[in-house]
Amino acid sequence: MELLRRPNGTEDILPSVSRDWQVLEGMLRETADSFGFSEMRIPTFEQTELFERGVGETTDVVQKEMYAVVAGNDRFTLRPEGTAGTIRAILQNGMLNEALPLRVYYILSCFRHEKPQAGRLREFHQFGVEMIGSPQPSADAEVISLAGRILERLGVKNTQLHINSIGCPTCRKAYHTALKAYFEPHRAELCETCQERLNKNPMRLLDCKDPGCQAVNRDAPVIIDYLCESCSEHFEKLKADLTMLGIDYTVDPKIVRGLDYYTKTVFEFVTTDIGAQGTVCGGGRYDGLIGQLGGPETPALGFGMGLERLLLTLRNQGMTLSQPQGCDLYLVPMGDAAADLCLQLTAALRKEGIAAQTDVMGRSLRAQMKYADKIGARFTAVIGDNELEQGEAALKNMQSGEKLTVKLDDSFTERFSAIEIADRLSKD
């Protein structure tokens, strides 16, 4: 029978790497907590209309990449990103009545039908934050500061912060007119998708990855030249706040982000260490999204970080987040009576926070010692009929070879704990 394989564009997170994920997720939660953010958890799928209205019908996400399901009269979609569902949950649960600004974060899986490549999967995991209620540039600076602090704590190297402003609907009306005037003579050079976008949403052309479109985009008008007074003041104050916080940045007028709900500030942290997919964090302000989803007009902003991209970046930089899970003590039973005792001792050791294992395979002495070495056991103790009769066993330090005699009574756990702690201290 043919072996079934996982779907293309997905990954199995094996025990050998899952501890890196655990450490990363713990650090993300801890850092977000320190900035006053609290965790939210939302459904894996939502009504398709949520993403059509929120993300935007002209985006690649909605047009090409969503996993949609029709069940009876219901249309559902596996979430392609976290913001729209989070805002839906905030509105549905009346959270805008709480003290503002709301500060929430999430760690979730997302789904997009894209061409799989390094750092880009069809099922991927995302850490995101949303700050709801503040129109101030200082809120933008704080959210950017949180993203930068995470990358700093992880030790990610070779990252740069790129910022831009894509203005408000007033700014963009004049900008869209300028873009249409620029691109129209080049229509034949554009890909089929961009030809369709030219009349509906010309800013999407700036985000196209087609080489021909990118060549045309090179000399396109930039949004900063069309900002209204309010948006210009907001952007200038953001730059001043970032400078005040000691956060280096580059103004990149080509950043527009891939989702329609963004307004004013957009930003990315990029790296050169994961190939073409160099963005490890992206976000910005979306002051119109809550209104589009049926709520009151409320300013908001946030960002998303792809966890696979973060871990890929760290691996490419020769870094690891965790040490392999080890075994403090492996008890080696010889005989049924010894096996029963070892089972009891491992249970007692684990209650004291000691990583203990014993044989559950019926292996020989030699095979057990080979297994203990393979799992990196720090100590072993062979227990057979002689040890049971004498009420004590030899505890062996697998690294130094030193042996100590320990009694097999109620003091065993306490005695081993003292020995194990002393061994750790001697290495520190």
**Cis peptide preceding 101, ω within 30 of 0:** yes
Furthest-apart CA atoms within the chain: distance in Å? 94
The per-residue pLDDT of the chain, averaged, comes to 90
How confident is the model at residue 104, as a pLDDT?
98
- Tell me the HSE value of 374 on the side-chain side, using a 13 A CA sphere: 6
Flag whether pLDDT at 14 surpasses 70: yes
3-state SS class at 331 = strand
Domains of the chain in sequence order? 15-154+259-316 (3.30.930.10), 327-419 (3.40.50.800)
How confident is the model at residue 114, as a pLDDT?
83
Flag whether pLDDT at 325 surpasses 80: no
How confident is the model at residue 261, as a pLDDT?
74
How confident is the model at residue 72, as a pLDDT?
86
- What pLDDT band is residue 125 in, cutting at 50, 70 and 90? very high
Strand order in the sheet with 45-47: 45-47, 74-78, 68-71
Q: Of 162, 172, 301, 300, which is closest to residue 227 (Cα–Cα)?
A: 172
Tens digit of each residue's pLDDT (9 = 90 or more) over 140-181? 999 999 999 999 999 998 899 999 999 998 888 888 888 888
Tens digit of each residue's pLDDT (9 = 90 or more) over 72-106? 888 999 999 999 999 999 999 999 999 999 999 99
Token pair listed for 85: 């569902």
How confident is the model at residue 196, as a pLDDT?
81
Helices 229-244 and 137-154, packing angle to 10 deg: 40
**CB 151, CB 161: distance < 8 Å:** no
Please tell me what DSSP assigns to residue 120: B
Please tell me whether the overall predicted TM-score, pTM, comes out greater than 0.75 for this model.
Answer: yes
User: Which residue did the predictor score with more confidence, 277 or 424?
Assistant: 424
Tens digit of each residue's pLDDT (9 = 90 or more) over 350-404? 999 999 999 999 999 999 999 999 999 999 999 999 999 999 999 999 999 999 9
Highest-scoring range by mean pLDDT, 29-43, 45-59, 108-122: 29-43
